[in-house]
Chain A
């Protein structure tokens, strides 16, 4: 082995700094500082934000929901906002207002995220309406009855976000829960659920549909021609 001259490494790098114009270092350092600060501010904003997924406003929609007496379907301009949704299972909140109570698959339901221990959902109407009846299609409609949520609170809000009516449900077992409630001039219906410990049947919310009606009589479903 031939003897090596002394270390070229960092000594030379230091000399390199002198070889480049000082302005280049200042510009590069400033750019790096701006990059770092921007990322820190952006990261803080992401961390501080409540990410409550909301379905988009729709324009020019051509399809119509099958049961036209519901006042909160997508085609009538309803939107859904949820505290979370189960990102592993593709259980999107929009299924709550697609007008289908018994979809073809069990995928087509809203499921809250496992880490969400206070799940809620809000249905916002296109315009204030009188609501007399709320029907919830729980998991028990298509799956095991133990998945049906037992305890939840139903609240109607007006355009000023004031509560116009509220109802606490303590021991529901019906797969399709029908709640008579008098909600005048309501723009938003909010449901807050009491989930049970994770890895139990009601550790997350499973809900197929939220149907709002402006009549208090339960009509028989329309038959296909």
Chain B
């Protein structure tokens, strides 16, 4: 007690300094997310259009093409309803169609910056008590820095995938869980409540994110944190209620979408219809290759961080192992793992810094600079590893759809490839039909625009039939039917 007046100003100064660093990290993270958004276009996976934004467009306008999931009822309408409200708000300032799609992605990217302070809290709770970093500040700040700038996270941020907001909610939930592990009984209820609140939201947004909650829930049970569990139960109610009520209203049965999702994927085993990958996909491709050439260094840091960061590492490892047993694998399913790996690596970095400080006599500033260089190298390595992700997949087609939608005489669009590989009616933003190109459809005069890949041989035959190129967007050519009568005879030229 006698030391308290003397230590308090020092501690307050440390907190202020850390607050400033974290504020700077959030600012840098926001900027990085804007840059990541600007570099991207198109989609990572069609689901983010046709299971999120296109249904939202349908709610707003009554116009859309909806996939089979919305016939069978595998999806909850609550997330599209949120996006519909967001797009409605954008429309008040004239942002519609493809621009609205881009704005939603920017909105989501900016929200992922909420993971930065959450990562700080998580890293701090994990690193707390370590020699040389007793209050866990270093671990917290290193974790926040990694989450702010990790290129794979920046890649997954500007998307309307179910996983993106779910990952943000999970990370906020992890921060509360890790704080709960160290909370006194007075705080346990509040920590448990927020943990449950964010886990409930994450589960509502993406059902399989429940796998990422197994370890935290098991830990609470095994450690008999009853107050925390009580708070968690209470906190999870809003997410559960949204899912139950939305499904009851739209599908006629509470939790219909969750039940159908489980039935389709695990009882009927139809997930494999969408492709299979080898068992080591998540280990080799989604982690090893993505971490880049310095993957061994990243592994080393994970190892260094395991002593204190094992709860985060185990929380990531369990879904990785479980999902590796399912034949159908996609990298986006485990984007939630990156914040957890980065928490462990952040603790590892703090441990390395402390170990180094105890064994060398170089100045703290120099040591910090070298640590910064190590982090920069890891980020560069991850950027290299993430370069082969699809940053602008079919972005040209999205732009072509927006272009056709703005043409005053457009009555129909024929586009490259299948119905679900474009920006949907949202990108077109015009109440006209759009279908996959076929020679038979090209003979229907209603379809007076086509958007095809530049190398598509159909372009030559269309040009021979009188169509002409009117625009080009990133490898996609927009063609327009020449003035003709419906029976195929060329229309006389006007004086």
Give A residues with C-beta under 8 Å from B.
2-13, 15-16, 18-20, 38-43, 45-46, 49, 51-66, 74, 84-85, 87-88, 90, 92-95, 98-100, 103-105, 107-108, 224
Contact = CB atoms under 8 A, between A and B. Distances in A.
Contact of A104 (B68, B92, B440): B440
Given A39-B82, A63-B445, A104-B443, 8 more contacts: A10-B191, A43-B82, A53-B61, A63-B485, A88-B67, A94-B412, A98-B444, A99-B486
B63 A53 contact: yes
Given A19-B16, A63-B483, A103 B411 contact: no
A2 B178 CA distance: 18
Given A8-B182, A63-B485, A92 B432 contact: yes
Interface stretch (B129-137, B231-239, B289-297): B129-137
B481 interface: yes
With most chain B CB atoms within 10 A of its CB, the pick from A4, A6, A95 is A4
Nearest to B486: A66
Interface stretch (B120-128, B277-285, B381-389, B470-478): B120-128
Nearest to A66: B486
A12 B85 contact: no
Contacts, number: 180
Nearest to B307: A1
A94 B191 contact: no
B190 to A, nearest CB: 7
Given A62-B483, A92-B432, A94-B411, A8 B125 contact: yes
Contacts of A56: 430-432
B190 A108 contact: no
Contacts of A105: 440-441
B68 A39 contact: no
Given A5-B128, A7-B179, A8-B125, A58 B411 contact: yes
Contact of A9 (B70, B71, B183, B412): B183
A161 B191 CA distance: 61
A105 B134 CA distance: 72
A84 B58 CA distance: 10
Contact of A74 (B16, B60, B85, B411): B411
Contact of A108 (B66, B82, B430, B444): B444
Contact of B408 (A10, A19, A41, A58): A58
Given A56-B431, A64-B486, A94-B412, A7 B15 contact: no
A4 B81 contact: no
B62 interface: yes
B187 A54 contact: no
Contacts of B70: 87-88
B128 A8 contact: yes
Given A62-B491, A63-B481, A87-B64, A46 B84 contact: yes
Contacts of B88: 42-43, 45-46
B29 to A, nearest CB: 16
Contact of B411 (A2, A61, A108): A61
Given A39-B85, A53-B63, A53-B431, A7 B486 contact: no
A87 B129 contact: no
Contact of B136 (A8, A16, A20, A42): A8
B85 A46 contact: yes
Contacts of A104: 440-441, 443-444
Given A15-B12, A88-B68, A43 B84 contact: yes
A5 B127 CA distance: 11
B400 to A, nearest CB: 18
A52 B183 contact: no
| Top 10 A-B pairs, shortest CB-CB distance | A51-B62, A9-B179, A43-B85, A62-B483, A4-B129, A59-B408, A42-B88, A92-B433, A19-B19, A7-B182
A39 B89 contact: yes
Interface string B126-163: 00110100111000000000000000000000000000
B15 A54 contact: no
Contacts of B66: 87-88
16 contacts: A4-B128, A7-B182, A16-B15, A42-B89, A51-B61, A53-B63, A55-B431, A59-B409, A61-B409, A62-B484, A62-B491, A63-B483, A64-B486, A92-B431, A92-B433, A105-B441
Interface in B464-495: 481-487, 491
Nearest to A17: B19
Contact of A20 (B12, B23, B82, B448): B23
Contacts of A49: 60
A13 B85 contact: no
Contacts of A100: 444, 446
Interface in B89-138: 89, 92, 121, 124-125, 128-129, 131, 134-136
B354 interface: no
B311 to A, nearest CB: 14
A9 B431 contact: no
Contacts of B393: none
A45 B183 CA distance: 43
A20 B15 CA distance: 10
